[in-house]
Chains A and B, each alone.
Chain A
Amino acid sequence: MTAVIAVPSSLDDHTFESVLDQLASHPADAKVIIDARHSTFATPYGLTALLTLAQTRPEKAEFLPPENPDTVSYWARAGFFRYAEELFDVRGHVPRPRSAGESDVLLEVTPVTKSDDVHGVVERIQERAASILLNKLHLESRATMGFAMTLSEACQNIVEHAGRGGWVMVQAYNYRRRLGGRYVVVIAVCDAGVGFRSSLESGQRRSLSDRWDDAVALEAAVVNGVSRYGDPGRGQGLKGIRGYVHRWEGKFSVRSGTARIALIPSWEDDVPRRENLAYFPGAQLQIIIPEKVSAAA
Chain B
Amino acid sequence: MTRIDVGSVLRHSANLPFSDLVTRPTGAAVRRCIQTELAALSEGDVAMLDFSRIGMMDYSCADEVVAKLLIALAGQDAHAGYIVFHGITDAHLEAIEVVLDHHGLALVVQFADGGARLVGSVTDDERAIWETVYTQGSAASGDISAASSHEPAERARILESLLHRRLLRHDGVAYTPLGPVQ
Q: Give the interface residue-count category, chain A.
A: 20 to 34
* A-contact 0/1 string along B17-41, CB 8 Å cutoff: 0101011111000000000000000
B60 CB contact (under 8 Å) in A123, A145, A148, A153: A153
Are the CB atoms of A115 and B99 closer together than 8 Å?
A: no
Q: How far is A233 from B94 in the complex, measured between Cα atoms in Å?
A: 16
Answer whether residue B151 sits at the interface, using C-beta atoms and an 8 A cutoff. no
Q: How far is A165 from B99 in the complex, measured between Cα atoms in Å?
A: 28
Known A119-B16, A145-B90, A145-B94: A237·B25 in contact at CB below 8 Å: no
Answer whether residue A159 sits at the interface, using C-beta atoms and an 8 A cutoff. yes
B59 CB contact (under 8 Å) in A116, A123, A149, A159: A149
Are the CB atoms of A119 and B95 closer together than 8 Å?
A: no
Are the CB atoms of B94 and A236 closer together than 8 Å?
A: no
Give chain A nearest CB distance to B127 CB in angstroms. Answer: 23
Give chain B nearest CB distance to A129 CB in angstroms. Answer: 11
Are the CB atoms of A123 and B24 closer together than 8 Å?
A: no
Are the CB atoms of B20 and A236 closer together than 8 Å?
A: no
Q: How far is A218 from B24 in the complex, measured between Cα atoms in Å?
A: 22
Answer whether residue A232 sits at the interface, using C-beta atoms and an 8 A cutoff. yes
A145 CB contact (under 8 Å) in B25, B56, B63: B56
B95 CB contact (under 8 Å) in A115, A159, A234, A240: A240
- List A199-245 residues whose CB lies under 8 Å from chain B: 232-234, 236-237, 239-240, 243
Q: Which residue of B lies closest to A234 (CB)?
A: B63
A152 CB contact (under 8 Å) in B16, B22, B64, B67: B22
Chain A residues with Cβ below 8 Å from B67 are 233
Are the CB atoms of B91 and A115 closer together than 8 Å?
A: no
Given contacts A118-B23, A236-B98, 4 further A-B contacts (CB under 8 A): A119-B16, A232-B103, A237-B59, A240-B98
Q: Which residues of B contact A (CB under 8 A)?
A: 16, 18, 20, 22-26, 55-60, 63-64, 67-68, 90-91, 94-95, 98-99, 102-103
Q: Which residues of A contact B (CB under 8 A)?
A: 115-116, 118-119, 122-123, 126, 142, 145-146, 148-149, 152-153, 156, 159-160, 232-234, 236-237, 239-240, 243
